[in-house]
Amino acid sequence: MQVSQLLFDFLEDQGDEDFKTFKWNLMNGSDSWEAIPKSRLEKAPRTETVSQMIQRYGEESAVNITAKILRTMGNKNDAVKLEKAYTGAGAATSSTSSSASRPPAAPTTMSAQQGSVVFAPVFDGSTVGAVTVNINTPNQGN
């Protein structure tokens, strides 16, 4: 089963008020995830909400964020079911193709022009090994 379908199925099980609360959590973000702008979610149905999540976070992070929000909303059982369904789907996919369930690799080098912003990858719920982050700022002529 595709991740988008899996997420949609879990959001379909949420009542309208729970779905509004879920989107509110996405729009406000947290320490664990970047907010999705209100303009993209305010009137979005479940299908568009899933698309926005996968586009912004990638498949694995979208599942993890959904589970975190469900827990925050008091739906621990749904969060556990989602994680188990995703793990099972990932295991089934990896038996046919080891790279099919992996998110795309982050670039090894990121840079920005003066005044720009770089959104670095978010490492959440997995072991990534050593990560080195170098921030070079131009000499301001002190």
State the pLDDT at residue 48.
96
How many domains does one find in the chain?
Answer: 1
Domain annotation covers residue 48: yes
pLDDT in tens, 38-77: 999 999 999 999 999 999 999 999 999 999 999 999 999 9
Domain annotation covers residue 108: no
B/e letters for 70-91, b = 16+ CB within 10 Å, e = fewer, are beebebeebbeebbebbeebbe
Domain annotation covers residue 40: yes
Domain annotation covers residue 38: yes
pLDDT in tens, 103-135: 455 555 555 555 555 555 555 555 555 666 666
- Whether the model clears a pTM of 0.85, i.e. scores above it, the answer is no
State the pLDDT at residue 32.
87
Q: Return the H-helix or E-strand segment holding 66.
A: helix 59-72
Quote the domain boundaries for residue 42. 3-96
Domain annotation covers residue 26: yes
- Let me know: does 83 contact 61? Beta carbons within 8 Å: no
Domain annotation covers residue 74: yes
Q: What is the CATH number of the domain that holds 11?
A: 1.10.533.10
The identity of residue 113, as a single letter, is: Q
Domain annotation covers residue 105: no
State the pLDDT at residue 96.
42
Domain annotation covers residue 134: no
